[in-house]
A = this chain, B = another copy of it.
């Protein structure tokens, strides 16, 4: 498989720019595709590396400098991602002070389609009373530059395109976990896959958390848009969500002054162990579908943040190893993963972009068929062990 190393710190490889396509590899192509890489300059993005994959149908941008997050994407005119108030991104991690604003500094750089939250912690800022533990909002992984980036093109049809990255969250006397990700698609596909592994780099057990903060705004999100996902249980995270529970799976239009609402789901899987969440627009003409395996990612969080268009009109579909409560809360409920030395943990997700009513109806039927396997319980208020009860 033709492979191109764009960054490798151990061998001091780094390419300022890069491009590959089928003609360059002498491959036949029925649909034109390419992978390019550049370094951005100027403003708060100065020094950020971006890898753009264009498979001829989907185009998306990966950010090695921001922990191999996915900045944004497009299917023709339909943008994947959202308009963050952070409008000058992608922001270089050196300009994001995670400890600022009482541990909310992460929000100074948040504008991605996919931002991973973790690995030491993935919820809100916290500090244990004895000072032995603390963390900042959503952890560090989205603000750590990758140590290794490579592009692989399968010479055999369907010519899989893979962007591989490694990101290490390490320090002496602390975290020592490496993310190895393979973000892949193939020419002409309406899908991309994120295949992650988390590897204990230490000689002792290591705990970690991961949450995938997938974020969508217009055109997939609009007034009357809906979320469809098979679930065993659904609950409001807090009083604010509780008050809006009746309409938890539909969306308002842009509403300046709207306060975020969060709903926790225990996902329900198919017989094959797969679950999914679909966000479809009001018209039922376009949708995004996230597929994952609850045995890998047993918690699903829905974030509704339908403020004004310029305030960040967005919803988050967030499969995770746990719910984004403070880490000690999750730890006490057995939802923090422990990796033994050399231990690995895998998580795979697929993002599908739908552009026809027929496709959307087929996924609705799929959700329905899975939901038919078990009853959905909707809790009227926050309940243990998922959220703090009032």
- Assess the B174–A204 pair: CB atoms within 8 A: no
Whether A88 pairs with B147 at a CB distance below 8 angstroms is yes
Q: Is A99 an interface residue (CB 8 A)?
A: yes
Total contacting residues, chain A, CB less than 8 A: 65
Complex: how many Å from CA A149 to CA B310?
Answer: 23
Would A107 and B145 count as touching, CB distance under 8 A? no
Flag if B97 contacts A202 (CB, 8 Å). no
* Separation of A64 and B232 alpha carbons in the complex (Å): 53
Asked if A92 lies at the interface with its beta carbon under 8 angstroms from chain B, I say yes
In A273-314, the 8 Å CB interface with B consists of: 307-312
The distance from the CB of A32 to the nearest CB of chain B, in whole angstroms, is 22
A201 touches which of B87, B93, B148 (Cβ 8 Å): B87
Interface residue A209 (Cβ < 8 Å from any Cβ of B): no
CB-CB under 8 A from A309, the residues of chain B are 203
Q: Are A203 and B256 in contact (CB under 8 A)?
A: yes
Do A204 and B87 touch across chains, with their CB atoms under 8 A apart?
no
**Residue from A42, A144, A309 with most neighbouring chain B CB atoms (10 Å):** A42
Contact between B202 and A310, CB atoms less than 8 A apart: yes
Contact residues in B for A100 (Cβ distance below 8 Å): 98-99, 136
State in angstroms the CA–CA spacing of A47 and B92 once bound together.
13
Q: Are A204 and B172 in contact (CB under 8 A)?
A: no
Copies in the complex: 3
From B49, B86, B98, B311, A202 is in contact (CB under 8 Å) with B311
Q: Which of A84-127 contact B (CB under 8 A)?
A: 84-88, 92-95, 97-102, 104, 107-108, 110
Given A9-B42, A14-B42, A97-B99, the answer on whether A171 and B86 have CB atoms closer than 8 Å is yes
Nearest chain B CB to A252 CB, angstrom units: 14
Across-interface contacts of A41 in B (CB, < 8 A): 12, 14
CB of A167, distance to nearest CB on chain B (Å): 9
CA distance A94 to B104 in the complex (A): 18
Q: Does A158 sit at the interface, judged by CB under 8 A?
A: no
A-B contact list, 16 entries, CB within 8 Å: A7-B43, A10-B88, A13-B42, A14-B41, A44-B145, A44-B147, A46-B145, A87-B170, A92-B94, A93-B95, A101-B134, A104-B173, A107-B171, A107-B173, A203-B311, A204-B307
Closest 7 pairs (CB-CB, A-B): A203-B308, A14-B42, A94-B94, A14-B41, A203-B256, A7-B42, A9-B43
**Which A residues have a C-beta under 8 Å from some C-beta of B?**
7-10, 12-14, 40-47, 49, 84-88, 92-95, 97-102, 104, 107-108, 110, 131, 134, 136, 144-149, 168, 170-174, 176, 201-204, 254, 256-257, 307-312, 341
